[in-house]
Structure 1
Amino acid sequence: MKALKTALTIGLLGPLTSLIAQQNPIFPGNYADPEGIVYDNTYWVFPTYSAPYGEQLFFDAFSSKDLVNWQKHPRIIDNKEVTWAHQAMWAPAVLEKDGKYYFFFAANDVHEGEIGGIGVAVADNPAGPYKDLLGKPLINKIVNGAQPIDQFVFKDKDGTYYMYYGGWKHCNMVKLKSDFTGLLPFDDDTYYKEVTPENYVEGPFMFIKDGKYYFMWSEGGWTGPDYKVAYAIADSPFGPFERIGTILEQDNEIATGAGHHSVIKVPNEEKYFIVYHRRPLGKTSAHDRVTCIEEMHFDDNGLILPIKMTFEGVKHPLE
């Protein structure tokens, strides 16, 4: 590292300096729907492998100590392990609990009467290999018009685990058993609550900041240029989630189709990063999606400031 810094300082590496300055996308290849998390002081991103549905049948993961240099962990799970997944696996949600690493995913682009939906797998290591926990979907049926996809698992202040999920412009929340093998009823004995905010399409995400619940989602069509991210702030994980505004959208000088994100908080710091996918300029295929990162900023009232997409991403630690 010292030698590299010295070489950069005296200009010995020439073209490498421009490569270091341009960090977005953060790793090569078509990857979308990135879920970012910190495990043991290491940053991890679990994305969808963006390809035609017949090819989108495995997951890779990426890890980094600095949010800039990424190591690829190939095929942490695939449809050979998830035997009920036969068409498309996407949109991971991940967490650690009691030394085990859990990996939630959607599979099969399920419709009414079909097998598919939201599954869960478990491993002893963030890089896997992950094993199908149930041998079947955790959520298969369509409730409140929400296709069972795009799940995000959220641990509340009291230790309760909720899952927000849903496509087709509907978002449900459910309460999970502590071992993630099934659902628990809410206090009113129901199992599903619709919490759909205005303009919601898919890709929910939640985090807590200063005691407030920041609920985020994607709008527009994922195959088109107008994909975007909006958010709400509530006092409860149940909402209501009143739309505040758009914070990430296409930029005709950078990329289109910016959406389906997650948020990483730097441990022990009030610093937040949004990890998202976008479609490079000139690319029109639905599968031409790459994973990028930008820093998030808030105003004095806690509102999220609009995020400008960049090619630089997060500054290299040597800069």
Structure 2
Amino acid sequence: MRFIFPILLLLAACSNPSGKNEESTEYSGNPVFDGWYADPEAIIYGDTYWIYPTYSDEFDKQVFMDAFSSPDLVNWTKHERIIDTAEVKWAKRAMWAPGVISKSGKYYLFFAANDVHEGEIGGIGVGVADQPEGPFEDLLGEPLINEIINGAQPIDQYIFKDKDETYYMYYGGWGHCNVVKLNEDFTGLDPFEDGEIYKEVTPDDYVEGPFMFIRDGKYYFMWSEGGWTGPDYRVAYAVSDSPFGPFEREGVILEQDDKIGRGAGHHSVLKIPETDDFYIVYHRRPLEESDRNHRVTCIDKMEFDQNGKILPVTMTFEGVPAKPLK
């Protein structure tokens, strides 16, 4: 009998070789931080995760942007008013959907403002800062894109760095999406080889919120469809061999769950460095809320099948486990 207890200890160690209490794993929880925030743009700078969302409220109250940083996806620090309409003189309202990137030691925040329509001042602007938390200064003093081109309202910009280090920007609302090539210092647009400045790349059922990433040499183009104020808002995607498409719709991978939340969409994607782990960062409307502006930022696992197709995302209240970057 004296050998039974050591044997049990050995078996326990083999079943949990780390020796850690598996129940002690911390999870992000959903929403990942408090407050009304939508259109989250997630990115990794160094050993820190960042989320740049829209402050979700009435258009006339959307006059600033906050950011959030975390070492592990669980513990988040709020950075208030990283940019606002006091700095961006041409912006009056409806500051939306940050798109962020770093280059040559500078941090850039692209944003839309004014819910611009034909003949109005507004559209996509660019902020620049020396650190991820800002404060961001207006780089141009005017919109980078003001006009309605190919029917696309200039909103919801995503900045994509291709394999050859060319920077493209995908953008557009009102059911149309354009891609443009950014110049070296993000102060303007360069023409494509055929001389065009704007290329329309709109897939079937596209509404807004474009996003692009590369996996196994393939270009995954994602977007939101449906109405952002309703329960049918959702995320779909396409796969192509080129950043310019053609983008043939594969299907929906994120949508409402009557037990979790509605209006799930306008997302971004995080890939953990040196792994094949992907997370989708998105907003959704809590079940108990009817206010169209009450949206919260969430994060869940995004996985692929053996053929590289994105599997439907399961929305959760738990979120994702802690994932330190160092």
Distance change (3 Å), C-alpha of 1:272 and 1:21: closer
Does the Cα contact within 8 Å between 2:28 and 2:322 map onto a contact in 1?
no
Does the Cα contact within 8 Å between 2:27 and 2:74 map onto a contact in 1?
no
Distance 2:292 2:194 in 1: 41
Secondary structure of the 2:268 match is: strand
Aligned to 1:314: 320
- The Cα shift of 1:316 comes to 4.0
Q: 1:186 aligns with which of 192, 209, 213?
A: 192
Distance change (3 Å), C-alpha of 1:114 and 1:305: same
1:108 aligns with 2:114: yes
Superposed, which structure 2 residues align to 1:233-272 within 5 Å? 233-272=239-278
With 237-246 and 265-274 compared, the bigger mean Cα shift is at 265-274
* Matched residues, number: 304
- The Cα shift of 1:142 comes to 0.2
Does the Cα contact within 8 Å between 2:37 and 2:297 map onto a contact in 1?
yes
Residue identity matched to 1:178 = E
Normalised TM-score (structure 1): 0.93
Distance change (3 Å), C-alpha of 1:22 and 1:46: closer
Superposed, which structure 2 residues align to 1:275-314 within 5 Å? 275-314=281-320
Distance 1:118 1:22 in 2: 32
Aligned to 2:123: 117
1:172 aligns with 2:183: no
Residues 95-129 of structure 1 deviation map (CA, whole Å, 9 limit, x = unaligned): 01011000000000000000000000100000000
- The Cα shift of 1:136 comes to 0.3
Aligned to 2:78: 72
Distance 1:185 1:96 in 2: 22
- The Cα shift of 1:286 comes to 1.2
Does the Cα contact within 8 Å between 1:41 and 1:267 map onto a contact in 2?
no
- The Cα shift of 1:317 comes to 6.3
Residues 267-311 of structure 1 deviation map (CA, whole Å, 9 limit, x = unaligned): 121111100000000211111100000011111111100001000
Residue identity matched to 1:94 = V
Does the Cα contact within 8 Å between 1:141 and 1:148 map onto a contact in 2?
yes
Distance 2:322 2:133 in 1: 24
Residues 18-46 of structure 1 deviation map (CA, whole Å, 9 limit, x = unaligned): 9x657000000000000000001100000
Aligned to 1:41: 47
Distance 1:131 1:272 in 2: 32
Aligned to 1:214: 220
Identity %: 69
Residue identity matched to 1:245 = G
Does the Cα contact within 8 Å between 2:39 and 2:266 map onto a contact in 1?
yes
Distance 1:244 1:285 in 2: 31
Aligned to 1:145: 151
Residue identity matched to 2:155 = I
Q: Please, what is the CA RMSD of the aligned residues?
A: 1.7
Residue identity matched to 2:40 = P
Distance 1:187 1:40 in 2: 34
Aligned to 1:161: 167
Does the Cα contact within 8 Å between 1:34 and 1:260 map onto a contact in 2?
yes
Runs in 1 of length 4+ with deviation above 4 angstroms? none
Distance 2:55 2:27 in 1: 25
Secondary structure of the 1:286 match is: coil
Does the Cα contact within 8 Å between 2:238 and 2:247 map onto a contact in 1?
yes
Structure 1: state its 5+ residue gaps.
Answer: 1-8, 12-16
Normalised TM-score (structure 2): 0.91
Structure 2: state its 5+ residue gaps.
Answer: 1-20
- The Cα shift of 1:182 comes to 0.4
Aligned to 2:13: none
Secondary structure of the 1:215 match is: strand
Aligned to 2:38: 32
Residue identity matched to 2:177 = C
Secondary structure of the 1:54 match is: helix
